[in-house]
């Protein structure tokens, strides 16, 4: 039996899935303790229900995914409004540093993947499929390089890469929170951050809800999204491959910096709320569409490769990223973000970081600026280059 949901039904189900995740997060202390995002909890539970239907052949779901791209673009557009030049001047060096660390991670994942594939007498491209193609790259890169792997001689390359990407999406959402929480608690980073940012926190006042102001913030977001489509189409015309949301991020950043030069200011809190709502809905819709049965298609050696990749990612985030990025609260939040996009997607990174900042009720502006910028704009260039390099190296 095929259960088809239209656009409204798909959106409504995603909300129910979020509420289910919220319920279990409140009831199961371990989920709250490790800051697992509610959409991830609900989404994985629903994907298990879908898996049972697939195994038994009794039912299957088909969703209208039209709103997914809209919600994703909206969420990342709101992040673009935080990218002021003033912040860039302060965090410019750290953007470069985090990018370098991410590039190192790409090469580690591919070296580890190919090395383990050879150890199991598998095609080296299986190692690439279970390396940065699926992990740093995510489903988009996997879908792009899968046919290339197949054309180069790897049978089932697309299925292997997509299955590995599914595994990465799940694990990236699960390990980021615990890694960051252990760092924050171990080094008492919240209290230290509050001491360092005391004046900012004291000066911030709770705003009353103003419908006109909220409408103005929404208008800015929609305008940035519209301008972003023009930017994205222009980039595509130059044969550059970017995520669909990058145009909105750039447009929002441009609007933010133009407004900074005038007397008109944006109310970032309102924009962040809209972005949070968009991200929650997107993640719920995205994760409820996970095809967990693809993981069954993974051979045992590939599962071992991916499990080791997760362990290496955790170690890299905990010991390398945290220390090099400053050993402070922002660095700990960045570690959670790195697990998100280093194993899955930038949206998972944002969800991991949002779950943490909500838990501790302390913002991490530097982390929310650096991780999306590197994860969505820069790393895809270097990842595609690295994958191509390894393909030529081991062909």
CA distances from 243 to 172, 223, 378 (A): 19, 19, 11
Which range marks the domain in which residue 74 is found? 2-196+205-394
Read off the tokens for 30.
């371990």
Determine the pLDDT at residue 104.
98
Determine the pLDDT at residue 195.
47
- Cα–Cα nearest to 127, from 112, 139, 137: 112
Determine the pLDDT at residue 87.
63
Whole-number Å distance between alpha carbons of 245 and 61: 27
- Cα–Cα nearest to 125, from 102, 147, 101, 103: 147
Whole-number Å distance between alpha carbons of 192 and 190: 5
Sign of CA dihedral 317, 320, 323, 324: negative
Q: Which of 119-133, 174-188, 197-211 has the lowest mean pLDDT?
A: 197-211
Whole-number Å distance between alpha carbons of 101 and 289: 31
Determine the pLDDT at residue 339.
96
pLDDT in tens, 11-63: 999 999 999 999 998 998 888 777 788 888 898 899 899 999 999 999 999 99
Determine the pLDDT at residue 265.
78
β pairing state of 2-4 and 60-62? parallel
Whole-number Å distance between alpha carbons of 349 and 387: 22
Whole-number Å distance between alpha carbons of 268 and 272: 6
Q: Which residues contact 123 (CB under 8 A, 6 or more apart)?
A: 117, 153, 154
Angle at the Cα of 235 from the Cα atoms of 65 and 254, rounded to 5 degrees: 90
Whole-number Å distance between alpha carbons of 146 and 95: 30
Choose the most confident range, by mean pLDDT, from 70-74, 105-109, 192-196, 351-355.
Answer: 105-109
DSSP state of 37: -
Whole-number Å distance between alpha carbons of 280 and 348: 11
For residue 294, how many other CB atoms are within 10 A of its CB?
18
Higher pLDDT, 276 or 239: 276
Whole-number Å distance between alpha carbons of 145 and 3: 31
Whether 304 contacts 298, CB under 8 Å: no
Determine the pLDDT at residue 240.
64
Quick check: 202 pLDDT over 80? no
CA distances from 98 to 111, 196, 315, 335, 347 (A): 20, 22, 16, 10, 17
Q: What DSSP string describes 220-273?
A: HHHHHHHHHHHHHHHHHHTT----TTHHHHHHHHHHHHHHHTSS----HHHHHH
Q: Is the pTM of this model over 0.85?
A: no
What interhelical angle do 38-56 and 268-288 show, nearest 10? 20
Q: What DSSP string describes 313-371?
A: HHHIIIIIIHHHTTSSHHHHHHHHHHHHHHHT-HHHHHHHHHHHHHHHT---HHHHHHH
Mean pLDDT of the chain: 87
Whole-number Å distance between alpha carbons of 312 and 318: 10
What interhelical angle do 85-119 and 300-315 show, nearest 10? 140
Mean pLDDT across 179-201? 76
Whole-number Å distance between alpha carbons of 57 and 189: 50
pLDDT in tens, 116-167: 999 999 999 999 999 999 999 887 788 778 888 888 888 878 878 888 988 9
Q: How confident is the model at residue 90 (pLDDT cuts 50, 70, 90)?
A: low
If one counts the domains in the chain, the total is 1
pLDDT in tens, 93-116: 898 899 999 999 999 999 999 999
Tokens 């009720």 identify what position? Answer: 361
Q: Which of 232-246, 358-372, 375-389 has the lowest mean pLDDT?
A: 232-246
Quick check: 199 pLDDT over 50? no
pLDDT in tens, 234-262: 988 887 656 677 789 889 989 998 988 88
């Amino acid at each position: 039996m095929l259960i088809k949901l239209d656009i409204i039904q798909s959106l409504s189900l995603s909300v129910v899935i979020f509420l289910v995740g919220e319920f279990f997060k409140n009831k199961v202390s371990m989920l709250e303790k490790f800051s697992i995002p509610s959409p991830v909890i609900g989404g994985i539970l629903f994907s298990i229900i879908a898996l049972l239907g697939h195994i038994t052949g009794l039912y299957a779901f088909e969703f209208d995914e039209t709103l997914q791209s809209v919600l994703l673009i909206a969420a990342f557009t709101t992040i673009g409004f935080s990218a002021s030049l003033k912040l860039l001047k302060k965090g410019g060096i750290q953007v470069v540093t985090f990018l370098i660390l991410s590039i190192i991670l790409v090469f580690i994942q591919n070296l580890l993947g190919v090395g383990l594939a050879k150890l199991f007498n598998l095609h080296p491209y299986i190692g690439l499929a279970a390396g940065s193609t699926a992990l740093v790259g995510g489903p988009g890169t996997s879908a792009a390089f899968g046919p290339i792997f197949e054309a180069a001689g790897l049978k089932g390359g697309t299925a292997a890469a997509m299955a590995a990407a599914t595994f990465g999406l799940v694990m990236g959402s699960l390990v980021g929170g615990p890694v960051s929480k252990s760092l924050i608690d171990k080094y008492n980073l919240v209290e230290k951050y509050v001491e360092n940012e005391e004046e900012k926190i004291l000066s911030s006042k709770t705003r009353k809800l103003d419908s006109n102001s909220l409408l103005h913030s929404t208008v800015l977001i929609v305008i940035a999204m519209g301008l972003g489509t023009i930017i994205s189409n222009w980039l595509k015309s130059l044969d550059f491959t970017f995520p669909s949301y990058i145009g909105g991020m750039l447009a929002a950043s441009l609007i933010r910096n133009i407004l900074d030069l005038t007397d008109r200011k944006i109310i970032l809190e309102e924009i962040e709320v809209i972005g949070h709502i968009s991200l929650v809905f997107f993640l719920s819709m995205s994760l409820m569409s996970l095809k967990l049965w693809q993981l069954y298609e993974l051979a045992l050696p590939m599962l071992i490769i991916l499990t080791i990749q997760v362990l290496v990612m955790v170690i890299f985030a905990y010991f390398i990223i945290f220390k090099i990025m400053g050993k402070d609260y922002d660095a700990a939040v960045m570690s959670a973000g790195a697990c998100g996009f280093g194993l899955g997607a930038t949206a998972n990174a944002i969800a991991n970081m949002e779950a943490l900042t909500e838990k501790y009720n302390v913002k991490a502006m530097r982390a929310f600026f650096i991780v999306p910028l590197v994860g969505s704009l820069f790393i895809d260039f270097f990842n595609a280059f690295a994958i191509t390099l390894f393909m030529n190296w081991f062909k």
